[in-house]
Amino acid sequence: MAELPTLGFHCYGQITQDELKEIRNTLEDCYPHLGRWLPERVEIHLFDTPARLAGFLESEKAELGIKTTGDEAFICSHDAWRGFPRLLICTERLSALSPLARLGTLRHEAAHTVLHGALAYYVFRIPADCLELARAKGMEQAVLQQVLYYCAIAVKDFEVTRLLLRQDYRECQVASAQALSLPGEDDKLAWLLAKYNRQARLLFFAGQLKTLLLNWPLEVVDLLSLEELADSILGYIEPAERKALLDLAVDITGQLGEDTHGNVRLTLRQVLLEL
């Protein structure tokens, strides 16, 4: 059995001992099941409120020159910007989930540190053919970088769900997926603002791939229906648009292999070609 990672905890705000114990126990129990190649250490940063998490991310991105956005809205996020894997967890958001969904969410984040625990999984180059496609669509560079980011997080979530199902983590992943796959008023407003602008529309649809690719491995083993999920979370989008996005997600997942960088390149190209 591989040696377990050293877990270093950093708490910001009012983190209770019960919250710290639950997170530590879940991670320590999960790591032995995630393969032979485990990270040597993982830093876990716990934030009591979304505002405190957002402030930390803003400071980190400013210092490191990171321009992408969106992760400040997550319950948990992961990175290796400092050269080693880190988990950033908002305990207020996490505690709002059911116990089974919390378990699934923490296992999901642990799997990211195993599959994507190095800086190389957070730095992706845009291939020349994708640059040409973006130029042909008149896409601004900042928009292309954000689309790339959305493609990367979607691919990495797909890979994590696939790994966890291989380790027979099933019910917790369904619970986590259902808890996280809920439509929000912000999404509905974003669509109203984006639908008539080509660049904004592409950016919006690329952002929806995260949920669809995350859940596709659950569809494959009959744990949920991706079509029903899309109808539920994207019901505010016109049926033809929704079907095109779902078809794109299914087409992408049918081509994904074991190489993360290859998967991201493929996904970016398909998005630029079809959206």
Annotated domain spans of the chain: 1-123, 125-275
Q: With beta carbons less than 8 A apart as the criterion, state whether 263 and 256 touch.
A: yes
pTM as predicted: 0.95
The helix or strand, by DSSP H or E, that contains position 11, with its residue range, turns out to be: strand 6-12
In a structure prediction context, what are the per-residue pLDDT tens digits for the chain, which is 275 residues long?
568 899 999 999 999 999 999 999 999 999 999 988 999 999 999 999 999 999 999 999 999 999 888 888 899 999 999 999 999 999 999 999 999 999 999 999 999 999 999 999 999 999 999 999 999 989 999 999 999 999 999 999 999 999 999 999 999 999 998 888 776 778 888 899 999 998 999 999 999 999 999 999 999 999 999 999 888 889 899 999 999 999 999 999 999 999 999 999 999 999 999 98
CA distance 271 to 248: 8
CA distance 223 to 220: 8
**Topology given in CATH for the domain delimited by 1-123:** Glutaredoxin (3.40.30)
